[in-house]
Structure 1
């Protein structure tokens, strides 16, 4: 419940799945020529706010500008065959995504693999078309004109004489009609596949085929509709079931028609999950996401709660050690909580760089003091003792760290600021009271934490550390299976390829993360034995065996040499136990 209630983390995670399904990306084919638009802001907001699925689909089929990129498809440059026009893309995409129907064959000729005819594909496409649409069979005109028409007339139809906008509104209601059982069965089957590793109907885009358990599919579809098309509620229901929590099934080959459910299938991490895990452990998150989305903290709405973060004056001071002998500074403060607040928001920056931890968990990293960070730490707080730790570094010139934390509980506000009560030390030195350098607004930094400065720096993207789903594709993610998304992708390849093996063995991008990560890990000042134990528990969810501890201790030594720590990271991250979800 706590994980699902974290709306930013939930949206960050599930954005990957829905970007694949809805053919949404941040760069790539079509963007340069303006033949394509993204729906990222709308989609992220819909996930974060847990918009009911039927409402999401209606907003995609009969869109406003923020959600129009899905049905508009891609306007390809030059001449394309008849089955790649925007109108036909529309018919193909809504059929595949929302109904599990392969309309691509029927977009060229009467389908050889199921019931759909060329005329049905074109009639569906005509609902979107701005002009009369002529049927093309195998890219040759037939002289027959399409009529705007829904593919399941038993539950209603569109008015072929109505405007395009009205036709799309009518189609959106037909798609999500309570009697359209294919609609709910398709989405619950997709979510079951995503969580369990295999669909109840498999493949997931062949919803006309027989499920391995018809009663289960029908029950889940009806329950999903009765629960208000609530995606989070459905995910919770599946993940708290005995079926999901049973022992993972490990298969040596893909099951056939005789498949019998024996537990969730072991599956590899997605490219995004793999990078998220490495970034979190090594503290190598990117500083800015590609996706322009709102990740700023929000107050949970209650009768007594403020509707937003209060705009309080900045009373924090710039602090550091005495400035002699070291460009690095460790800072910490402790505080007590009677209850976990509804919201705990941090404003912070450091000249030049800092990493912050709350109760041992890394929550923020920055290497640019001119870009102050604003982020939420609520989920990391506990009742009783809490500790906030900062590792700061100065690259030259002035040095200082400033931070203000505002915690909200109903009408109560608690503010924690940097001042002389904080403890600071040089690396391996003795803790002592912080030196107050300047008030906020003083020194060479100006009013860097003012609301306008923070808004300029963070815009709508402020929030917790950046996740891979929010970054544009790169060579490493592509080799690990993240698609180009110039077409709908409902499943990613599960097999390890030669390209993946090469990138995981010596790829430049991964090597860069682990080289930098080893420096960050060394800076945490753990002993070799403590580092191995921490890494195993964090990466593999278990303690190392006696044999593993002995072997890895020889590798890492006292854990103070980055090259040795880098070797340790490679050894752990390359284990199937790390890369496979079981």
Structure 2
């Protein structure tokens, strides 16, 4: 509909330059022309529900992404799943409004005008008489202050989950839930603030820890990982994301996406000396049936978690999907022109895909499958067998 603003350039350069997180949030809440898309939301054509007007979208998105809370229920009525009230949601949404909002309960106007307030009065007041620009400036200043531990616990919890497979608090959008370690959550947030809101330093802190580098832990079911009585034993073993799997296949075998499939090209923003990748990264292409089947969410809505379990659709795509089959076929033809010895082909594939050489049994099976003079079809079958191994697909 043309009713939204793209923030990709701003987002990419901010992350590339490791912009301090407090400044990052400030620019989202009190935006420049390049970053205004986050709070401007989607301007739907025609009449929309009161809970979907852009001011309420902004309140919902800021609440979910930055503060780890769900205001969607409380945008229509008092929430059934939390303590947030309808009036609190409208008071928060009023900060993003040009004029005072009228509270609607279940889409019925109440005749009551909303107040203007942050969700936690301890963070300070917002001048209800101020214009929108001033209210946004005040909101940005109030939320990024070190006293707002909620915001900093939320971001460190998200990074922890991304690296470890399970948040200290789950779900990551419901930070009112009890953490499995309050001390760890508080320390990470405090250390993050003391280190200048440095996201790269936060990632380094976690990734360089002994626990991150230790053996991953497998669980029989996803419910066991998300259980209320969960006890941390190490990084959760999990499947690669759709983008990770796609990029791995593209790097090892053959690109899954042609260069002209790139929907957004951040390398146009790079300095000339930067090298452009040799294949289209999956994160830069538009969503498609292959990535959707592997779990990539719809980007039209804020999504901060993904389905972790396999599905029938995914199995069908990996075994019979045209995109993967074509990439494996072209990759096999390319490898055939470069390598002819079955042992060399097998060892090269195992080193690239699994970071190890095949054992005697694996090598014997591969030699039998490839034959003395491997053709492209046999090499393709070997590719397919290896990339479907749990050892390849799992983050360990």
TM-score range, shorter chain: over 0.9
Larger mean Cα displacement after TM superposition, 562-571 or 520-529: 520-529
Mark the runs of 5 or more structure 1 residues left unpaired by the alignment. Answer: 1-32, 299-308, 310-344, 346-374, 377-461
Match of residue 287 from structure 2: 473
Q: Is structure 2 residue 250 aligned with structure 1 residue 290?
A: no
CA contact (8 A) 1:99 1:186 kept: yes
Structure with larger Rg: 1
Among 43, 68, 71, which residue is 2:11 paired with? 43
Match of residue 331 from structure 2: 517
Q: Measure how far apart 1:464 and its partner are.
A: 5.3
Q: Is structure 2 residue 383 aligned with structure 1 residue 569?
A: yes
Aligned partner of residue 522 in structure 1, secondary structure? helix
State the distance in 1 between where 2:21 and 2:334 align.
41
Q: Measure how far apart 1:113 and its partner are.
A: 2.2
Q: For 1:9-28, what aligned pairs fall within 5 Å after superposition? A: none
Aligned partner of residue 66 in structure 1, secondary structure? coil
CA contact (8 A) 1:531 1:559 kept: no
Aligned partner of residue 110 in structure 2, secondary structure? strand
Aligned partner of residue 112 in structure 2, secondary structure? strand
Aligned partner of residue 39 in structure 2, secondary structure? helix
Aligned partner of residue 260 in structure 1, secondary structure? coil
Q: Measure how far apart 1:79 and its partner are.
A: 2.9
CA contact (8 A) 1:296 1:463 kept: no
Greater fraction strand: 1
Aligned partner of residue 176 in structure 2, secondary structure? coil
Aligned partner of residue 122 in structure 2, secondary structure? helix
Greater fraction helix: 2
Mark the runs of 5 or more structure 2 residues left unpaired by the alignment. Answer: none
Q: For 1:533-572, what aligned pairs fall within 5 Å after superposition? A: 533-558=347-372, 560-572=374-386
CA contact (8 A) 1:176 1:183 kept: yes
Q: Measure how far apart 1:180 and its partner are.
A: 0.3
Q: Measure how far apart 1:558 and its partner are.
A: 4.6
Q: Which has the higher contact order (CA 8 A, sep 6+)?
A: 1
Match of residue 265 from structure 1: 236
Among 151, 164, 169, which residue is 2:137 paired with? 169
CA separation of 1:579 and 1:36: change in aligned 2, threshold 3 A: same
CA separation of 1:142 and 1:297: change in aligned 2, threshold 3 A: closer
Deviations 1:260-284 (A, max 9, x none): 1111000111100000000001232
State the distance in 2 between where 1:45 and 1:118 align.
37
State the distance in 2 between where 1:501 and 1:47 align.
34
Q: Measure how far apart 1:169 and its partner are.
A: 1.1
CA separation of 1:248 and 1:463: change in aligned 2, threshold 3 A: closer
Q: Is structure 2 residue 159 aligned with structure 1 residue 159?
A: no
Deviations 1:364-420 (A, max 9, x none): xxxxxxxxxxx53xxxxxxxxxxxxxxxxxxxxxxxxxxxxxxxxxxxxxxxxxxxx
* TM-score calculated relative to the size of structure 2: 0.95
Q: For 1:338-357, what aligned pairs fall within 5 Å after superposition? A: 345=273
CA contact (8 A) 2:169 2:178 kept: yes
CA separation of 1:235 and 1:146: change in aligned 2, threshold 3 A: same
State the distance in 2 between where 1:513 and 1:74 align.
36
State the distance in 1 between where 2:128 and 2:340 align.
71
State the distance in 2 between where 1:200 and 1:133 align.
36
Match of residue 201 from structure 2: 233
CA contact (8 A) 2:254 2:328 kept: no
State the distance in 1 between where 2:280 and 2:80 align.
46
Deviations 1:6-25 (A, max 9, x none): xxxxxxxxxxxxxxxxxxxx
CA contact (8 A) 1:41 1:292 kept: no
Q: For 1:434-513, what aligned pairs fall within 5 Å after superposition? A: 462=276, 465-513=279-327
Q: Is structure 2 residue 392 aligned with structure 1 residue 578?
A: yes
Among 47, 51, 57, which residue is 2:25 paired with? 57
Q: Measure how far apart 1:72 and its partner are.
A: 1.2
Structure 1 residue runs of 4 or more that deviate by more than 4 Å after TM superposition: 295-298
Aligned partner of residue 267 in structure 2, secondary structure? coil
Q: Is structure 2 residue 248 aligned with structure 1 residue 277?
A: yes
Among 142, 145, 148, which residue is 2:110 paired with? 142
State the distance in 1 between where 2:42 and 2:329 align.
39
State the distance in 1 between where 2:150 and 2:284 align.
31
* TM-score calculated relative to the size of structure 1: 0.65
